[in-house]
Amino acid sequence: MKVSTFQHLVRIREKFGPGLFGKIAQKLLALALCDTGFSYVVERGVQGVDVDATSSKGDKYTLEVKTTEGDSIYLSKENLDALRDRAADGYVPVIAALRLQMFEDWLFAKIPLSRVRRGSIPLARLRAYHIIKLEALVCPAFEAVVNQHFTGVLARGERYLAELLAQRRQGDT
């Protein structure tokens, strides 16, 4: 991730705090997935897995989105159960982690759920399972989305992005 993009994200986090920043990052990621060519993207703000995304080729991913400033993320039992549920529906369970530090980028990890326990997971562990192709596709799109909507997000926060996603859905239908 470019430093300028990182600095945009830092400003968003500084304005809205870590909690809301996580939700904003999730929505920005959902928009990036839309822009990357995923034909069907569902972003859940409340319960269940955070994002489902189906590519035009039929690849189905279910993403548990986590943001952190440290070197690990926390996975709850609910997070794991939700991923297992979606995996049972044919989705590839993925942990999408963004470490908000310079030179870091989204990490999409297809870690076998049997190898994950609830609790803290070092990002280094996730890196062993990262999906390089998906990252190469989504990360540049995410940067573009951040830079494109930075002003709007800074002004109106999560709501601005929720409206954008709603517009995308309407466009799809």
Contact residues toward other proteins (CB under 8 A) are 1-4, 71, 101-104, 115, 124-125, 127-130
Pairing relation of β-strands 92-99 and 60-68? parallel
DSSP one-letter string for 19-46: HHHHHHHHHHHHHHHHHHTEEEEEE-SS
Min. distance of Cβ 118 from other proteins in angstroms? 12
Min. distance of Cβ 131 from other proteins in angstroms? 12
Between 127 and 156, name the residue whose CB sits nearer to other proteins: 127
Min. distance of Cβ 86 from other proteins in angstroms? 23
Between 6 and 61, name the residue whose CB sits nearer to other proteins: 6
Min. distance of Cβ 2 from other proteins in angstroms? 7
CB atoms within 10 A of CB 157: 18
Cβ neighbours for 32, distance < 8 A, ≥ 6 positions apart: 138, 141, 142, 144, 145
3-state secondary structure 131-154: CHHHHHHHHHHHHHHHHHHHHHHH
Between 70 and 90, name the residue whose CB sits nearer to other proteins: 70
Between 52 and 143, name the residue whose CB sits nearer to other proteins: 143
